[in-house]
Structure 1
Amino acid sequence: MKKIYFLKLIAAALLLAAACKKEQYNAPDISGTKADTIILNLGDKMVLAPNITNLKGNEYAWSVNGKETATGQVNYTFEATAAGNYEVTFKANNKGGSGEQVFRILVEKQITIAIDELPAVPMCQVTDITPVVTGPDRFDYQYLWTIGDSVIGKKRNLSFIAPQAGTYELTLRTTAGKQTTTATRKITVTAAQYNNNAYMVLEYAPSPAKNHNWSVIGSADSWKYGAEYPLTYNDFLAKATALRKDSKYPMLVIGSWGGSATFKFDHTVANAPDKAELELTAICSQADAPTVYVAYDRNKNGKADADEWYEIKNDDTGLGVIPNYEMTFTYLKTDKDEKRIYTSFSWKDNQTQSAQGEVLTNKTFSSSMTSSGAFSTRGFFPGLSMVDIASKNVAILDGWKNSFTRKGKRITKNLTGTPSFQQTLNIDIDMAVNDKGEYVQLPGIDFVKIQKAVYPVELVDGQRTDVNMEEGRMLHVGGILDKTLKN
């Protein structure tokens, strides 16, 4: 009897253990939890689907920022109806325990663009357009300004300029993340009259050379007809400006290495996409193109500030150069005999092993007389003039210096077999680079500086010869024309 009872007791225990085992629950296990924030735009929908194991007896609940939004479902569709940060929490629980997963979601602000109404503006005048752009806090904003199919800017703010009158529709396309928004605004450009030549001579800094007809402003033969003038420095600038305003043909002699001249337009030359805007007439060899610098008067103070100049990249850019070369010239004396006048300058450079020398110019009295019988300044370096014919006394006029330094980069090149001639050079403003060689985007330019940076040498009888101060290697600069203006 006892044995039977014991066996029944064991059997009951086994049944009870089996029943308990049958009713055992394991807590839900939610795997694959990601800590990365999900970024959505307004209007987006996203299905949130957690990965769950141990499903027996589970109950489910979803909440957004602590507020319950759904129960009894494993997946949840989140709709981005308002910008902001959200925590979407999924909870699963059963008799064995619970588990949860938090989805962090950022709904970004919508990009909006506001552009004020634009007033009418004259052609060749820059209008700075500053749109108000609001949107998500991101660092990947991209901007694209267009007129039709033409791209005119890639920054938020636009410096707009048009070389022709008309009504233009400007479109700004702004992108950040997955969002893109556009806005348009029309601007009216009115007609205006300008001189297409950079006729205003702001600075004239020539470098000496041998036996050249220096002081001619224009054709070298015009001295016969009284076109030579004993002028102070400021009067020289004014006279050169007046002659260049009337005609694009008068040339200025820039001279040997380091010589330069700075010019100004009476308007801003618009930077036209994919084309050369300037046409420069110069006398030089094909391998001796002048270095061109341009400046946009960004602060509208009427002058070219030091930080506004950029070099126009050409074939010589990046060649081996002496970057900060200097030559200092000093007027020495004037000698004379019965027929000729001799003037001389000494020169010295700034290198550790300094080079130096002397440049001599001579002229006959007969060659300096004009058709009216007056004595001209033909042949004298600018600023030198015979102030007394009877005594043949030569002096330096006001504003010119008896000692001056020319500075810049020096590119030494062998120019054997490349004679100088008058040629036309096209200048593209888009080729402007900064001191690091990086391209810069300019809406247009107001100033142009032309400088001789190539230091010429030639092979003469097999010997390398310095020809920098030879008359045939002088740089001359004529018209600097705005090609964007219609004639």
Structure 2
Amino acid sequence: MKRIIFLALLIAAISCRKGQYLPPAISGVGEDTIVLNIGDKMILAPNITNLKGNSYTWLVNEKVISSGQTNYTFEATEPGNFNVTFKAGNKGGAAEQSFKIFVEKPIAVSITDQLAVSMCNVIDIAPTVTGPDRTDYQYEWSIGDSVIGKTRNLSFISPEAGTYDLTFRATAGKQTATSTRTITVKAEQYVKNAYTVLEYAPAPGKLHNWAIIGDKILWDLGYEYPLPYNAFLAKASEMRKTSNAAGLFLGSWGSAATFKFDHTVVNVAGKTDLELTAFYSNKDVPAVYVAYDRNKNGKPDEDEWYEIKNDDYGLEDTLTYEMTFTYNKTETDTRRVYVYSNWKDNRTEPTQGELLTNKTFASSMTFGGVFSIRGFFPGLHMIDFNTKQVAMLDGWPTTFSRKGKRIIRNLSGASPFFQKLNVDIDMAVNNKGENIQLPGIDFVKVQKVVYPFQQDNTTGNVLKDVNMEEARMLQVGAILDRHLKN
């Protein structure tokens, strides 16, 4: 009897276990947010254990969108954050897990409909860009197969007239959007040479000729123009506009001149942009500085200047050398004229010296019978030859300083001669040595930065200071736009 009762209880217990429901368990749902773009589809398929008697429900932001399925395909049709919840349950219990999904805004770009500019002028194009809040945007501007920019805004400039299809592309994550507009470049007439002289800052020396406009050896042919400062600038500009041979005699260390183009010289990638003619040796290359008139005020502001990096960059012994020149007096007798001036530098214990120009009147006459001021202090002129009266012309100071970096160098055997210096605007650097991307340039400054020494054959191995020797002084001729065809 006892055995029969035990078997009956065992059968009842087994029957009870067969009808038991265990609650479902859900896995395979990550904690990271899934990022999608408009049009993307994502199959959500969690792992489920304990399947007996289960029912399933899918909700998007707490709204039921599907039931009875163990997976769900989410389609991104609008931007925003979405919480996709999967629920499973049976008589034994329930479980749920949520997928976090973020659908990014679509990228949209547009450019103004009307784009027109004169050749060799810059037009700043700022496209409209909307889209997801990301930090990995990349931009590209192109004309045909040529990429012309990789920043959001474009400073467009062309050296040639015509009509171009300009395409802008923006990329972020997996998204890309483009916009194309036609830009018309109008034809204009310009002068290739940077003819306008904005500043003439000579530094004197032996037989320095501050009034020459042309080659220094042509003083006796009447190429001197002893004029008040502003009148000299105007005369030099007038001559340079029609003649590439109308150069300036800058002089010894620190001498400089600033020139202006009548247009913006285009910075063409992979090509040299300027051709400068000057009198120098290959060990005495002048420094070239360029400026783009970004604020369109017609002048080179101090923060717009950048140096063209060359092989001498970084080799200077000082960045802040300065020499001050002062006119003292002029004396004459029946045969000669004597012009006295002195100079001093900015060292703690200054180096200084005197400059004396000693000339006979007979040897100083041009072929036209005019007395030459070759060797005079800048701005000094013999205004009356009969009385031997001299005066400083208006705008020329009796004392001035020349400042800049200095590279001390032995130039023995490195003879200077007129040669061309090609300049690539892509080599422009700021005062930290960082490359600066300029669309083009409007101004050029040329300065003598090498302070020359050379072997003195009369004293053996001693190096002689030849900074103020006439043969070592810098002359600058034409500064040409290499891309301008007209």
Query: TM-score, normalising length from structure 2?
Result: 0.94
Question: Could you tell me whether the CA contact under 8 Å between 1:209 and 1:469 is conserved in 2?
Answer: yes
- CA change 1:486–1:38 in 2 (3 A) is same
Show CA shifts across 1:17-70 (max 9, x none): 434444444433333442222111111111112233333333221111111111
1:264 maps to which of 260, 264, 281 = 260
1:416 matched residue in structure 2: 412
For residues 446 and 457 of structure 1, the distance between their equivalents in structure 2, rounded to whole angstroms, comes to 34
Q: Distance in 2 between matches of 1:305 and 1:349?
A: 27
- Find 1:302's aligned residue among 292, 298, 301: 298
CA distance in 2, matches of 1:414, 1:32: 76
Partners of 2:211 and 2:227 within 8 A in 1 = no
Query: C-alpha separation between the residues in 1 aligned to 2:100 and 2:351?
Result: 73
Counterpart position of 1:341: 337
- Gap regions ≥5 residues in structure 1: none
Distance 1:469 1:20 in 2: 115
The 5 Å alignment of 1:312-351 reads 312-351=308-347
Shift of residue 169, structure 1, vs aligned partner: 1.0
Q: CA offsets per residue over residues 398-422 of structure 1, 9 Å max, x none?
A: 1111111111111222222111000
Once the two structures are overlaid, the 10-residue window that deviates more, 334-343 or 421-430, is: 334-343
Tell me which residue corresponds to 2:466: 467
**Cα pair 1:215 1:380 within 8 Å, conserved:** no
Contact 2:206/2:375 (8 A) holds in 1: no
Encode CA deviations 1:116-145: one digit per residue, 9 max, x unaligned: 122432211111212111111111111111
Mapped to 2, the partners of 1:338 and 1:37 lie a distance apart of 98
C-alpha contact 1:230 1:376 (8 A) present in aligned 2: no
- Report the number of matched residues: 483
Map of 1:186 onto structure 2: 182
CA spacing shift, 1:24–1:255, aligned 2, 3 Å: farther
Match of 2:216, SS?
Answer: coil
Amino acid at match of 1:480: I
Structure 2: state its 5+ residue gaps: none
Cα distance change, pair 23–263 in 1 and its aligned pair in 2 (3 A): same
Match of 1:396 in 2: 392
**Structure 1 letter corresponding to 2:377:** F
Match of 2:448 in 1: 452
SS of equivalent to 1:152: strand
Cα deviation for residue 9 of structure 1 reads 4.2
2:43 and 2:218 map into 1 onto residues whose CA distance is 86
Question: What residue number does 1:218 align with?
Answer: 214
Q: Distance in 1 between matches of 2:178 and 2:323?
A: 55
Alignment deviations for residues 302-323 of structure 1 (CA, whole Å, 9 cap, x no partner): 1111111111111111224412
Q: Does 1:157 align with 2:156?
A: no
Partners of 2:275 and 2:480 within 8 A in 1:
yes
Corresponding residue SS for 1:263 = strand
> Per the alignment, in what secondary structure is the counterpart of residue 234 of structure 1?
helix
**Which residue does the alignment assign to 2:237?**
241
> Counterpart of 2:87 in 1: which secondary structure?
strand
**Alpha-carbon displacement from aligned partner over 1:215-264 (angstroms, at most 9, x marks no partner):** 21113344334332321110110111111111011111121111110000
Q: Which residue of structure 1 aligns with residue 40 of structure 2?
A: 44
Summarize deviations over 1:148-187 as a string: whole Å, max 9, x none. Answer: 1222111111111111111111111111111111111111
Report matched runs for 1:132-211 at 5 Å: 132-211=128-207
Write out aligned runs for 1:288-299 (5 A).
Answer: 288-299=284-295
From 45, 61, 64, give the equivalent of 2:57. Answer: 61
Q: Distance in 1 between matches of 2:287 and 2:417?
A: 17
Matched, 1:477 2:457: no
Give per-residue Cα distances to partners, 1:258-307, cap 9 Å, x unaligned: 11100001111111221111100010001111111111111111111111
Q: Secondary structure at the match of 1:120?
A: strand
One-letter amino acid matched to 1:214: W
